[in-house]
Structure 1
Amino acid sequence: MKRNAKIYYTSDVHGYLFPTSYGDKTERPMGLLNCISNFEKDGNALIFDGGDTISGSPMAAFITEQAGEILESEPLAQVYNAAFYDAVVPGNHDFNFGYDRLAGYMKKLNAVCLCANANDLKGHTGITSSYIFNLKNGLRLGVTGIVTDYVNVWENPKHLEQIQITDAFAAAKNELEHLKKESDITVCIYHGGYECDLETGALLTSGNENIGYRILKELDYDLLLTAHQHMTVKGRDCFGTHTLQLTANAVQYACIELEYEDGACTVTSSILPAGACHNREPYESLLPLEGQVQNWLDLEIGSLKEAIPEKEKLDMALNGSQVADFFNQIQMEYTKADISCIGLGNNPIALPAQVTMRDLVRVYPFSNTLVVLEVTQEVLKQALERCGEYFTLNHGMVEISEVFLKPKVEHYNYDYFAGITYEIDLERPVGDRVVRILFHGEPIGNRKLKLCMSDYRASGTGGYEVYKQCPVLERFGTDVPQLALEYLKNHPHTEIRRCGGLALYNSRL
């Protein structure tokens, strides 16, 4: 007998409930409230989410910062419950605020929380390894969830004292063995992405941050739903498993159709836009909160001596960015480090003379905290060689290397430095381009310096593996946008100073 099931899937919502990007007040076809208005829930339909929910947007930041009744009401969970989600998986960013914040959110969800490679030592999150969903037509869907085990690399160790993240592949393999015995269709929701090109098998990323391709190749789930990389990957069959991925911020959702007959499962899927419509509720109930967020974003918090105009990414990297100088200035004052580095987002950035919170979250849309490492000249050279890889020469003209553009745009993995001056020669091969590094106008020699960076970068992510071997001198718990807010309040008429940076060795370029 032929039986059918349907799955609606979202991931990497990052707290974007309403149809706005928060860069301005324009309504856009996005937001979880718009996505869920398209869902048609019945006894043979399930709704899943792949994680990264409580961090990454002004709405999410406001909820966490305000705490009290707003946080306790868990507005994000309210929307998931209103849509009747069946299962959610935590993403790496859902661990950013510690165990209690994660547990508070998950306890308010009606959905089952799946994460086979999370060992909850206190038991307050309600996380379980897998779940068998029995549909109205008798189909049994065995579903598990896993999160990239790079959480152990990125996350503040204090946030993982009560919850252990284990090997993601081993967990997926173990769950599959018993799910096959108890279910007709097997599903793995993986908050992680693909390390290889799905068409060619060519390696895209090293390390174990993303193991989606390995899961497809070595395990035989019927469906693998991925996340984390923020790439639109249309549904396809790969090694007998159907798989897909969505972009971030609730711009789209997936609708997956499953057909089961005589022990065989056929899967098709569509990735669909969030659209411009939403249901009356819970939209109207949450409008007062959205109004508070918008008012909070428009509060003027300080001023710059002059506005910072928008620049092209290549121009910024070659000639410096005042936005990067601004954040490096803040980081160096706060941490008392000798050197600072910062990566900026993919979107165009500018700052007006009168700065609001909206401006800060627009130009620095990350919830990163700061880490100070002890570095040597050799460590700096290896890190700066990664920065040098950002550029390529095309008939003598400097361009941005495809390494930072494909398969995913990663301008945020180019770092701007303050406190040192360095020169690169683009006519030299990648990996051997840095020809000079100066600290206060002198060679570093055998000195050990304090380098401040985000906790994300200190993990070695983005091609900066050399940082993983460096001693950690200090960690700071306040995130960078909050530090910028405090800095502007303490320096109400901020003058931005450039302190070192990149110079091209070959003046002909």
Structure 2
Amino acid sequence: MMKIRILETSDLHGFVLPTNFTEKDMDLPFSIAKARTKMDELTSSSEQKGEIVIKIENGDILQGSALAYYLAKKAKEGIKDLVNVTNSFGYNVGLLGNHEFNYGLEYLETYVKQVNYPILAANVLDKKGQPVFGPTYQIIEKQGVKIGIVGFLTQYIPHWEQPATIKDLTFQSIVEAAKEILPDLRQCVDVLLVAYHGGFERDLLTGIPTESLTGENEAYQLLLEYGEVIDALVTGHQHREIAQHVLGVPVIQPGFRGNFVGEIELELDKQKKITHSKAKIHRTANSKVSTEVLELISDISKETEEWLDQPMGKVLGNMKILDPMAARINEHPYIELINKIQMEATAAKISGTALFNNEAKGFDEQITMRSILTNYIYPNTLAVLRVTGSDLKAALERTAEHLEINDEGEIIFSPRFVEPKPEYYNYDMYEGIDYTIDLKKKIGQRIVNLSFEGRPVASEEFLEIVVNQYRAVGGGNYPMFSADKIVREITVDMTELIAAYLKNHPVIQATVNHNFKILK
């Protein structure tokens, strides 16, 4: 009997040390450094037993943390320190995630060139129809066993990224790409692994859709059509914690920020046929920080922390977020401020933004770069759309879908937008218009009042609104918005726009005008 042990990290998002950067000297239950310790333990145990170990980095590592932002925007040597960390893991292959594109193609290509493992992205093609970032697949031979690994990423990136960033790139459906790759590769290898920076669009047991079938996540369909030739599937993107068999195939997805390491165990007989398989995920909360990773990242981490603590402005009044849900249903000064900044930057009279997660704390009396980056966590740029009143109302109806009334009569974030992955970033709050959401009414009929400059918004009139670029191209399932409605763009990211606004307005008032109401 022979064993193959597949170990996976995914969606690390640049959280090298156990902190979310909201304050100094934290020890939170995640991090790349803790994942490294756990992976080392699992590797050592397996190798002592003579097992084959395959390590996969599954994408979304370049963006997400304040450190990742600093490396991309401020560090003299750019991505070098983060690459040194990932290169220390001994990965056999790596993938790209959708957030790898956030800082532009040049930055992404720097990562691809510096890592000491091949990058697999078989469904991202150039004008000649060839994979752009690396080989179509990798075949690794260990102990006489040929192991084929194919890497895919979500095809949905064109719905999120600026067209200039992905010019001349084609993102195929992974199911379509699999048709050209998997059957032939299966004939050449003993074991076939698929690594996918994407997740599941259907319930893992029933196959019932759990989201709109847009193509963003295609793992279930992939297994439905090609499960017979796939021996193991490692996934990501949704930040879920999955370790089970789906349609007979062992599957893992190890959360995010390094809070879990995924593991698939395959047992082979003497004929190199798989006789048994297991799927597990290992929590890293109690793992120690890897001393090697700490040494590799220590200097740039200290540099980042000092940069984060630079003062940027002051608040008169209270702009702290104590209850994220309350900040979504009753206008909050922080949200109003972000909308004001977007309006000033673009000269648009209507603005929409979101409270991206439940870790945002708003601004203290002293605003620092730390508070800017830990509240506004994405490197979004802005786009101004020319839309009809009907489009605007449809967008508000879409945002209203994210709320519902529970059995106790309380307004909650709809569970269907929390599980399997929280989508707080898709609930927008607007400034420059007055509107009322009535949650007692049916979805699609909840906007009972909508006015602009003191008059009702007519369905056929044209309005200019500013939103982030992700939303402007329809991201978050907002089909009423699209790239052809963009009339101008601001290519400076929001972190820099917020900093520039505070430079011009060093003291800001915490104000709200209560321009929206939510009825229950």
Name the TM tier (shorter chain).
over 0.9
Pick one of 374, 389, 405 that aligns with 1:377.
Answer: 389
Q: How does 1:183-262 map to 2 (within 5 A)?
A: 183-206=189-212, 207-220=214-227, 221-233=230-242, 235-261=243-269, 262=271
Q: Does 1:285 align with 2:284?
A: no
- Partners of 1:237 and 1:276 lie apart in 2 by 27
Q: Does 1:143 align with 2:149?
A: yes
The residue matched to 1:37 in structure 2 has which SS? Answer: helix
Q: Which amino acid aligns with 2:317?
A: E
* 1:496 to partner: Cα distance: 4.3
The answer as to whether partners of 1:12 and 1:247 remain within 8 angstroms in 2 is yes
Name 2:506's counterpart in structure 1: 492
Name 2:55's counterpart in structure 1: 47
- Partners of 2:10 and 2:257 lie apart in 1 by 8
* 1:101 to partner: Cα distance: 0.8
- Partners of 1:246 and 1:268 lie apart in 2 by 15
* 1:210 to partner: Cα distance: 0.6
* 1:168 to partner: Cα distance: 2.2
Q: How does 1:81-120 map to 2 (within 5 A)?
A: 81-120=87-126
Q: Does 1:419 align with 2:432?
A: yes
- Partners of 1:334 and 1:245 lie apart in 2 by 39
Pick one of 373, 392, 398 that aligns with 1:386.
Answer: 398
Pick one of 135, 139, 142 that aligns with 1:132.
Answer: 139
- Partners of 2:408 and 2:287 lie apart in 1 by 46
The answer as to whether partners of 2:124 and 2:132 remain within 8 angstroms in 1 is no
Pick one of 405, 408, 411 that aligns with 2:421.
Answer: 408
Name 1:16's counterpart in structure 2: 15
Name 1:365's counterpart in structure 2: 377
- Partners of 2:82 and 2:131 lie apart in 1 by 18
The answer as to whether partners of 2:431 and 2:515 remain within 8 angstroms in 1 is yes
Name 1:502's counterpart in structure 2: 516
Deviations 1:130-187 (A, max 9, x none): 011111x211111011111111111111111254322322112322112201111111
- Partners of 1:336 and 1:168 lie apart in 2 by 41
Q: Percent identity?
A: 31
Name 1:462's counterpart in structure 2: 476
* 1:48 to partner: Cα distance: 0.4
Deviations 1:435-486 (A, max 9, x none): 2210011122243111111122223232322213761112222221221112
Deviations 1:179-201 (A, max 9, x none): 20111111111111110110222
**CA separation of 1:364 and 1:326: change in aligned 2, threshold 3 A:** same
Q: Which amino acid aligns with 2:397?
A: E
**CA separation of 1:470 and 1:428: change in aligned 2, threshold 3 A:** farther
The answer as to whether partners of 1:342 and 1:453 remain within 8 angstroms in 2 is yes
Deviations 1:82-112 (A, max 9, x none): 1111100100010112221111111111111
The residue matched to 2:374 in structure 1 has which SS? Answer: helix
**CA separation of 1:265 and 1:329: change in aligned 2, threshold 3 A:** farther
The residue matched to 2:492 in structure 1 has which SS? Answer: coil
- Partners of 1:29 and 1:315 lie apart in 2 by 26
The residue matched to 1:503 in structure 2 has which SS? Answer: strand
- Partners of 1:271 and 1:500 lie apart in 2 by 45
The answer as to whether partners of 1:120 and 1:162 remain within 8 angstroms in 2 is yes
Greater Cα shift, 392-401 or 376-385: 392-401
Pick one of 341, 345, 354 that aligns with 1:334.
Answer: 345
**CA separation of 1:67 and 1:314: change in aligned 2, threshold 3 A:** closer
- Partners of 1:427 and 1:65 lie apart in 2 by 46
* 1:373 to partner: Cα distance: 1.0
- Partners of 1:125 and 1:429 lie apart in 2 by 46
- Partners of 2:225 and 2:99 lie apart in 1 by 27
Q: Does 1:323 align with 2:334?
A: yes
Q: Does 1:64 align with 2:72?
A: yes
The answer as to whether partners of 1:106 and 1:125 remain within 8 angstroms in 2 is no
Deviations 1:339-386 (A, max 9, x none): 110111221433101101111122121122111111111111111112
**CA separation of 1:102 and 1:374: change in aligned 2, threshold 3 A:** same
Name 2:314's counterpart in structure 1: 303
Q: Which amino acid aligns with 2:315?
A: L
Pick one of 148, 152, 158 that aligns with 1:152.
Answer: 158
- Partners of 1:163 and 1:470 lie apart in 2 by 19
The answer as to whether partners of 2:173 and 2:215 remain within 8 angstroms in 1 is no
**CA separation of 1:456 and 1:278: change in aligned 2, threshold 3 A:** same
The residue matched to 1:51 in structure 2 has which SS? Answer: coil
The answer as to whether partners of 1:259 and 1:267 remain within 8 angstroms in 2 is yes
Greater Cα shift, 394-403 or 22-31: 394-403
Q: Which amino acid aligns with 1:340?
A: S
CA RMSD of aligned residues (A): 2.1
Q: Does 1:347 align with 2:346?
A: no
State TM-score, norm by structure 1: 0.93
* 1:395 to partner: Cα distance: 5.8
Pick one of 424, 428, 443 that aligns with 2:456.
Answer: 443
The answer for unaligned runs of 5 or more in structure 2 is none
- Partners of 1:54 and 1:453 lie apart in 2 by 24
Q: Which amino acid aligns with 2:224?
A: K
Matched length = 501
- Partners of 1:250 and 1:364 lie apart in 2 by 21
The answer as to whether partners of 1:99 and 1:162 remain within 8 angstroms in 2 is no
* 1:426 to partner: Cα distance: 2.5
Greater Cα shift, 398-407 or 172-181: 398-407
The residue matched to 1:483 in structure 2 has which SS? Answer: helix
Deviations 1:236-278 (A, max 9, x none): 1111211121211112111221112242353212211224313
Q: Does 1:176 align with 2:182?
A: yes
Q: Which amino acid aligns with 1:216?
A: L
Structure 1 residue runs of 4+, over 4 Å off?
120-126
The residue matched to 1:128 in structure 2 has which SS? Answer: coil
- Partners of 1:357 and 1:128 lie apart in 2 by 40
- Partners of 1:484 and 1:464 lie apart in 2 by 25
* 1:125 to partner: Cα distance: 6.7
The residue matched to 1:267 in structure 2 has which SS? Answer: strand
State TM-score, norm by structure 2: 0.91
